[in-house]
Amino acid sequence: MSENPFESTLAGSNELLESENLLSATSEVLNLPNPSLEFCTLSTAETLERLGTDPITGLNSIEEVSRRKVEYGANEVSVEDDESLIKKFFMNFLEDPLILLLMGSAVISFLMGNIDDAISITMAIVIVVTVGFVQEYRSEKSLEALNKLVPAECHLIRGGQESRILASGLVPGDLVHFRIGDRIPADIRIIEQVDLSIDESNLTGENEPVHKSARRVNKESFNDQPNCFIPLSNRTSIAYMGTLVREGHGKGIVIGTGTNTCFGAVFEMMSSIEKPKTPLQLAMDKLGKDLSFMSFIVIGVICLIGIIQGRSWLEMFQISVSLAVAAIPEGLPIIVTVTLALGVLRMAKRKAIVRRLPSVETLGSVNVICSDKTGTLTTNHMTVSKIWCLGSMSNKSNVLSIEKNKNGNLKNYLTEDVRQTLMISNICNNASFSHEHGKYLGNPTDIALVEQLSKFEMTDIRQNLKKLKEIPFNSKRKFMATKIIDSEKKCGIYVKGAYEKVLENSVFYLNKNGKPEKLTDQLKEVITDCANDLASDGLRVLAFAKVDVDNEKAELNESEISGLVFTGLIGMNDPPRATVKPAIEQLLQGGVHIIMITGDSENTAVNIAKQIGIPIVSKDVSVLTGDKLNDMTDDQLANVIDHVNIFARATPEHKLNIVRALRKRGDIVAMTGDGVNDAPALKLADIGVSMGRMGTDVAKEASDMVLTDDDFSTILTAIEEGKGIFNNIQNFLTFQLSTSVAALSLIALSTAFKLPNPLNAMQILWINILMDGPPAQSLGVEPVDNDVMKKPPRKRSDKILTPFVLRRLLTTAVFIIMGTVYVFMKEMAEDGKVTARDTTMTFTCFVFFDMFNALACRHSTKSIFEIGLFSNKMFNYAVGFSLLGQMCAIYVPFFQNIFKTESLAFFDLVFLFFVSSSVFIADEVRKYYSKKQELEDPYYYSNV
């Protein structure tokens, strides 16, 4: 199977490496020769020559790329399954002790001359094993599909063109660049780096990030090592596949792909280790074992009583083993896995990729969602809306509105302070134009600023400037600064950021003629008032400033950001997504607390919150700023957070405090994030949600779920699916266990009252196929009922087998037992003995009961006519084929010999239809009266 080496495999590798034996084996694997050992000692020029590539344009020949793809294969870590399907299939006959017992029974029947019984039992064994094998195969294939849901991507340069492609398409010689938050897509020889540190803990086990360099490693320094071997951690010119960039950025040449990487070698070794089961699977295993233990006791008693009564020991042995196969839900964990996996694949189609199966169990319990504003609640499509400069627009109400002048000539408004503000927005900008895509790529804010230039007939001037140093924007610093030298050899520092930070370091402002003037406290208040007014309109406000400096000192640090000349403010609009407001309404209706977390100002956040329906009682109660949050302990925050719906001017570190406070209260928290610093909060949250488009690889790695469209409303659909999957599991559990209890009780009652067995071994095995087969599986893919969001979140401690589920399945089992016993006794009373017709009627009655029971189990609280009789196509096909199989068992001579049946009249089927429908009618009546109770008490089902 093909694994995505950047996802769950890596997450599990740290746990696997804890084993001493495995760690030793891993070290041996990593000590084997591979490209990283060779290329770390080569210079950059030697590497480029060896791989025939260019340090600026990368590989220039498409034909050469195609040739290398054929030679080296896809950049994927895959492990061939040595066992064939046929071998796996036949192994199932030997691994299940109950199947071995049935095979023994067939052999004994053959030796005693009961050829028909021997053939019948053998065919039944083949069918039972085939059904189980298909279920397990589907489970494996579904889980394989999950591993491919979040394909790794990378920044590639080929033929001088930059693009973002799937990492699987890389070949040796490709030129790639990487920055903070990226995962390294292959083994790479670094050729350029700026403050580059890489976290290699998932490969080497060392927690401290390793500082990387483009310089080759001196091989002579390791003469004391065996064969001059250079340890992994000392290959400082190599970036390993699957490791994370923690600081800085760099560029390098791919030297190894797929299994020809250090991680690929480790993965091949780890592939034989079985992955741990999910908590739900473990719960199902325990439930299965408990039920098996109880079933064995009942079956043993039945067998013992039957032999004491003088019945044939071979008959009782076959009945007992068949009952064990039918009554013990050995397929339960497999069906749970299939249901979870298929549910997760459905979520993926709705843009929510769940990376870990256990997260599905948690989704239905989420009662607090903490969401970023930009890009999640909003469209993340920034447009410059308003510009304000103190020099030319001293009155705060005199603002240049770009939206109102869409078709006007904005060049007429280009005073010197406006021009300087736009120029700084151009210089402090990392958006780059992609000829391949025909547009700018990068941060949405940067794109909006650089796209604005053309409206003022200005051009991008960055190619005419030399950048000396850059201080990147981060949530703590809240500004970005760039130091440049222009064509006239003049040096300056240009700053953009939060207006509070920029004003704090400004002592002058630029008048409309471009001359600096003294910035007084009174003028700072005017700027602050204007910024707040812009924020109150829901705009993101950035301030711009500059200062001329001596060009001799090329370094730039934060202490130099002082004595600035303030030039102006730009307000950008990022409207709410159309889907967010109805999603929030549904979540609030379902008892979910929505919290917006943003780095923007309080006014901006409140404006957006009102637009999307987040309730604001008052700013004092519902809004907390980062400054206030800094002064609060976790306990203090936990006491007030119940009323807080907005955290403004918040940092990723604040997110961690918020999650801790919520979990201290016992809340189940979903937290969204996209940056490197969001990773701790995503990891701590019960459900960490990262962004598929804007999210860094670090954030995706720490998260449990990835939103491929970065849309908040997708979280709603994921929670809906999570709740629906849990309900479906309870529904097929009700179906399976009620069938199991009914079959056991039916044989137990007939044995206890010295009645002939109403079902023979072959009929019991057919019932097992129905119980574990397609009808049961089809209940697991029942479409999600949208009304699940009207119910309060499920408690984490709630068990799957609740008192409500137990009462329901036992009631159903009683109806099946009573109806089947009634038919058996009625038929037997007509002639005073058990005939083939009697067992055929009883057998068919039980199967019909099972089909009506499956129909009733499609929903626990809603009538089948409410959810739609034909809304689940898979269920319709499963029941249709099951009934067709039953008709074959009754009317086809070949199957009549196997199941010991005979043909029934049409009116016999009509009679059985009406008798068996009683279980469905009774459940419909229960749902009707429960519906009335729910109208009076919305929490009725929670209480029961």
Q: Are 756 and 834 contacting, i.e. CB atoms less than 8 angstroms apart?
A: yes
Q: Are 374 and 380 contacting, i.e. CB atoms less than 8 angstroms apart?
A: yes
CA–chain centroid gap for 221, Å, is 46
Structure tokens at 283: 């719960």
Torsion of CA 497, 500, 501, 502, to 10 degrees: 70
Q: Are 547 and 427 contacting, i.e. CB atoms less than 8 angstroms apart?
A: no
Say which of 96, 117, 372, 678 is annotated catalytic.
372
Structure tokens at 669: 């928290």
End-to-end CA distance of the chain: give it in Å, rounded: 44
In this structure, the number of other CB atoms found within 10 A of the CB of residue 754 comes to 11
Cite the DSSP H helix spans in 594-712: 602-612, 619-622, 626-630, 634-640, 652-664, 679-684, 697-702
User: Which residues does residue 510 pair with via DSSP β-bridges, in sequence order?
Assistant: 516
**Cα separation, 583 vs 352, whole angstroms:** 15
**Residues 6 or more apart whose Cβ sits within 8 Å of residue 110:** 118
Q: Are 620 and 397 contacting, i.e. CB atoms less than 8 angstroms apart?
A: no
Identify the three-state secondary structure at position 191: strand
Structure tokens at 342: 């298929």
How many residues does this entry show for the chain? Answer: 944
Identify the three-state secondary structure at position 769: helix
Identify the three-state secondary structure at position 82: coil
Q: Look up 187 and say whether it is catalytic.
A: no
**Cα separation, 398 vs 394, whole angstroms:** 7
Residue among 263, 268, 78, 271 nearest 187 (CA): 263
CA–chain centroid gap for 736, Å, is 29
Residue among 132, 102, 90 nearest 329 (CA): 132
Q: Identity (one letter) of the amino acid at 103?
A: M
**Cα separation, 642 vs 655, whole angstroms:** 15
- Could you list the active site residues? 372
